[in-house]
Each structure stands twice: as structure tokens, then as C-alpha cells.
Amino acid sequence: MTNLNNKVAIVTGGASGIGLATVKAFLDKGAKVVIGDYNNEAGVRVEQELKKKYENVLFASVNVADEQSVENLVAETVKHFGQLDVIFNNAGTGIQKPTHELTDEDYKRVISINQDGVFYGIKYALREMLKTGGGSIINTSSILGSVGEPTSIPYAASKGAVNLITKSVALEYADRNIRVNAVAPGFIESGMVNKEALGDFYDGLVAKHPIGRLGKPEEIAHAVVFLAENDFVTGTTILVDGGYTAK
């Protein structure tokens, strides 16, 4: 088992939701954490709040759809903390729209963040991990990388790609002590996914989860910590979905 104490981790999309829950989980394990996020205002606010309790936390602005921005994020992490041991490629977006109404811009925006962003994170993390003799790369997939969902073509395509990117890179670097895994959440109660915002649609989402509720960001963070710590797990996508895909 890898002890995360004093390990250096990047979490993209780290200023809210699953990302923020994972930032806190890593910090509780003693890791040094860089919060990468596109929302500068939220990132600065979260950094200031966390620094009241944790010393080794840093916000760095990033647009994961831009390769240079991701390269800069990794470089800033190494400059500040000296190395990179774990990256959680979590930043993502989605769109729900009938397929015949999707624009090229709609499709490419989701792919650029959810799929290209994961590739860039992997690419530049690998370059640092190869220098230091290993590390852990964790990607955010989704239940919609395993099952279909109407009106979610770009999102489903990007998450299916994340699953196979994860397997392929895991095989390529397993003999160099770099593990690559993914976590696939069901619907998680955070941000705009709540009863107040969604009304009756919320009840329909809950009904799709045999466990009888939506997930919590902390439950996904717990799975991410497991993947970061367990040295014998690579090339897998862990479903944390309340039984959604068991049907």
C-alpha cells in the first residue's frame, strides 16, 4: 500500500463537487495537493478556506482542454512541491440535447474537456512520474461510459473513451510502476443535481439507483483514495453507482 503522507497530488476540477471532496480526502491523508480549476474565483476561495486547516494546498488555474495550460499546471506543481505522485483527472462537463440538434461546437466542447483533458493530464503526469520511478493516475469516467443514455452522446462517447484510455495506458506503463485507473460515478448529489433544482426529474434519477438515493461526493473521493493507495490495482474502472449498472 502506498502511504499518501507527503505525496504530491493534482486534482483537476478540484474547486467543487467530487474534486473538492477528493482534495480534502487527500489532505486528510497527509498529501500535498494542487487544486486545478477553470473557475479562478472558486479556486482562490477554496484555497484560502483549506489553508485554515491544511498547510500544503495550492490553487492553480487550468483549462484542461488546452494542452499548454495542463503542461503549465504540472510544471507549477513540480516547481512548488518538488514532484508529482498522483493526478486525478477529474474536470469534466456535459450537455443533454437531442442528437439531431447537437452542433459541432456542442460535441467538440465536451470531448475537448472530458477526453482530451484526460489525455493531456496523463501525458504530462507520465513525464514527471517516469523521472521519479512511479505514480498513480486516476481518471473520472462515468456510468455513461458503460451504459447508454438518450440525449447524452458527447458525454457518453468521452467517458467510454476514458475507460479504454485508462486500460491502454495502464498496460503500457505497468512495468514502470505507474498505475492507471478510473472511477465511474453514478449520479452524485452536488451542484445543480439536487431535489430543489431538478424537481420531479430528481425522483426519476433516484429511482434508477437500486440503493435508493444518489451518491455523495465523499463516496467517490473514498474510491479515488483507494485507487491511489492500492499498489496492486491498475487498468480498472471502479463503478461507484448505487447499483445503477447492475440492472
Which conformational region is residue 98 in: left (phi greater than 0), alpha (psi within -120 to 50 degrees), or beta? beta
Say how far apart CA 194 and CA 175 lie, in whole Å. Answer: 43
What is the arithmetic mean of pLDDT over 209-238? Answer: 97
Structure confidence at residue 120 (pLDDT): 98
Tens-digit pLDDT profile for residues 156-187: 999 999 999 999 999 999 999 999 999 999 99
Q: How far is CA 247 from CA 91, 145, 187, 205, 212, in A?
A: 28, 15, 15, 14, 14
Tens-digit pLDDT profile for residues 72-84: 999 999 999 999 9
Angle value at C-alpha 101, between 99 and 105, nearest 5 degrees: 95
pLDDT at 10 over 90: yes
- Residues with Cβ within 8 Å of 197's Cβ and at least 6 positions away in sequence, in order, are none
What is the arithmetic mean of pLDDT over 122-146? Answer: 98
In the numeric block, the cell 483527472 is attached to 89
The crossing angle, in degrees rounded to 10, of helices 117-132 and 153-173 is: 20
Domain boundaries, the chain: 8-239
Per the CB < 8 A criterion, the answer to whether 138 and 224 are in contact is: yes
Cell of 14: 478540484
Q: Is 29 helix (H, G, I), strand (E, B) or coil?
A: coil
Cell of 87: 493526478
- Residues with Cβ within 8 Å of 190's Cβ and at least 6 positions away in sequence, in order, are 16, 17, 18, 217
Confidence bin at 194 (pLDDT 50/70/90)? confident
Structure confidence at residue 247 (pLDDT): 82
Domain 8-239 in CATH 3.30.70.2200: no
pLDDT at 118 over 70: yes
Structure confidence at residue 130 (pLDDT): 98
Catalytic residues: 155
Cell of 85: 505522485
pTM: 0.96
Say how far apart CA 206 and CA 212 lie, in whole Å. Answer: 6
Structure confidence at residue 192 (pLDDT): 67
